[in-house]
Structure 1
Amino acid sequence: MKIAIISNSGAKSQAASTALRQQLTAAGFDLGTKQPDVVITVGGDGTLLSAFHRYADSLATVRFIGVHTGHLGFYTDWRDYEIGDLVTALQHDAGQSVSYPLLDVRAEFADHTSAHYLALNEATLRRYGSTMRCDVDIRDNFFENFRGDGLCVSTPTGSTAYSKSNGGAVIHPRLDALQVTEIASINNRVFRTLAAPMLLAPDEWVTLKPEPREDYLMTVDQFTLDPQPIVSLTLKVAQERVHFAQYRHMHFWDRVEDAFIGAKQ
């Protein structure tokens, strides 16, 4: 088994990463960042998101493990003080994993070029300083004309991130669905949207067709893109999936309770 370790620059993460390298080397594991079987991130969800995009072309063969050194992490099963336990679990690895759906994003531009992205959490389309007007199609059928700051489309695992802050539902990651949430929509006698989150089935897709402008901002997970004029943005559940090495069961709703509610009384 070849293992890659990716850490953020924080002192706590660097110390945990060093300890992890030492213990993995002592246990006889092969360490390296090229074509790994397992990618271990040390930090938080942002570190894991960066690693996901780094190895997005190898998702069929790579499993991820997150080691958490901060305050909140939905993708991190291990804490920095559990390095020894993690190494022991790796020594008894039998290929066990859990997989989650991803978001497929395809952008068509005014110059007839296109771009393709995968998102672990979400993708957004927005305008800053002015209102965005955008036709929303579902399965190539017109649904509504949106007017507001923007739209967010998320995966189930991304439903606890930016989507939730926009009023989206928290979705269990075993559901192969995508969620569309509005970002500060305008609803009055002239302009009207659904004004509620939408859950789309795995065989459905949403296409955003913004009014021609040159000041749109698109995000894919933590990456901000300043694209050329967009004709359409089509989003659906991806064929690819992300795989996490799972050595112990971490109940999703326990994660949610711990992150947003706090210790049980």
Structure 2
Amino acid sequence: MDARRNLYFYYPKSDELEEKLSPLFELAKENDFNLVNNPDEANIIVSVGGDGEFLQAVRHTHFRQDCLYVGIAKENEAGLYCDFNLNAYDEMVHTMMNAPMEVRRFPVIDVTINGESTFHCLNEAAIRSAIIKTIVMDVYIDDVFFERFRGDGLIVATPTGSTGYNKSTHGAIVDPKTPCFQVTELASLNNNRYRTLGSSFILDKERTLRLEVIQDGNDYPIIGLDNEAYSIRNIQEVAVSLSEKRVKTVKLKNNTYWDRVRRTFL
């Protein structure tokens, strides 16, 4: 058995989806791919269900550095992480077998909470208030004080994450070939008493961002890591930096990141 052709499919289990995937499973076997039940045994992890499922697949398989992730979108789902469509089985397998492909490497951020637990994010980390009250955070860049933020929260996005939650709050879309991360405000207070930068800003790969949560009744802020939210008791400090990890995906010919952005938004 050639372990380099081991496929693991990550998808929400349902009879309808199993039926749709059955022909793809058979085609994969006919083309000498091995289907495995344990993601640790796979060198190709295939997510089915759009960008949200892709993020879950990467997170739940621990941001594997020794495998390739492939995204398959279901019908009528646009995806920035998905190169294939579930309704085109033959084309999908033929492309994987014969078409020129390159490996695309997407940046990841490391998020450390209270100097203890570190999480990885492919899209973004969002820190916001869990109650109807502004959250106050001191923002440090490379341990140098930058500003005191008051508002609903802050988003720290990777380049690929810049097209999601970050874009909806008027942050910039960043080319994923640029190793950096972006900080975007959520409903900041700006008046004669309080002042923030008032716009998103981009930090180089060598920078470190540190957020100190000012505990003034907001002891239980919510932190979103990609598409999962956590209420962590007594968040005092969140440090973010660009990770050494990269998520490797398929890059098909004539299907650049900006081709995907155009198809998704224009």
Q: Tell me by how many angstroms 1:177 deviates.
A: 0.7
Measured against aligned partners, the alpha-carbon deviations of 1:110-151 in whole angstroms (never above 9, x if no partner) come to xxx711100010001110311101100001100000000000
Contact residue 100 and residue 252 of structure 2 kept, 8 A: no
Give the alignment of 1:1-265 within 5 angstroms: 1-9=5-13, 13-32=17-36, 33-34=38-39, 35-58=41-64, 60-69=65-74, 70-92=76-98, 96-108=102-114, 114-127=116-129, 128-212=131-215, 213-261=218-266
Percent identity of the aligned residues?
A: 28
SS at match of 1:170: coil
Q: 1:239 to 1:3 in 2, by over 3 A?
A: same
Whole-Å separation in 2 of the counterparts to 1:256 and 1:79: 17
Contact 2:11–2:47 (CA under 8 A) maintained in structure 1: yes
Q: Which moved more, 1:40-49 or 1:147-156?
A: 40-49
Worse-matched range after superposition: 230-239 or 243-252: 243-252
Contact 1:7 1:14 in 2 (8 A): no
- Deviation sequence 1:24-82 (CA, Å, 0-9, x none): 12222111133210011111001101100022252x21111111114221100111222
Q: How far apart, CA to CA, are the structure 1 residues paired with 2:204 and 2:166?
A: 17
> What is the distance in 2 between the residues matched to 1:232 and 1:30?
45
How many residue pairs were aligned? 256
| Structure 2: tracts of 5 or more residues without a match | none
Residue identity in the other structure for 2:198? A
Partner letter of residue 65 of structure 1? V
Please give the alpha-carbon distance, in whole angstroms, between the structure 2 residues aligned to 1:11 and 1:81.
Answer: 16
Equivalents in 2 of 1:172, 1:137: separation in Å?
A: 25
Give the structure-2-normalised TM-score: 0.90
Aligned 8 A contact 2:83 2:252 in 1: no
- TM-score normalised by structure 1 residue count: 0.91
Distance 2:100 2:254 in 1: 15
- Between the aligned partners of 2:63 and 2:154, the Cα distance in structure 1 is 27
Q: Distance in 1 between matches of 2:205 and 2:198?
A: 22
RMSD over equivalenced CA pairs, Å: 1.8
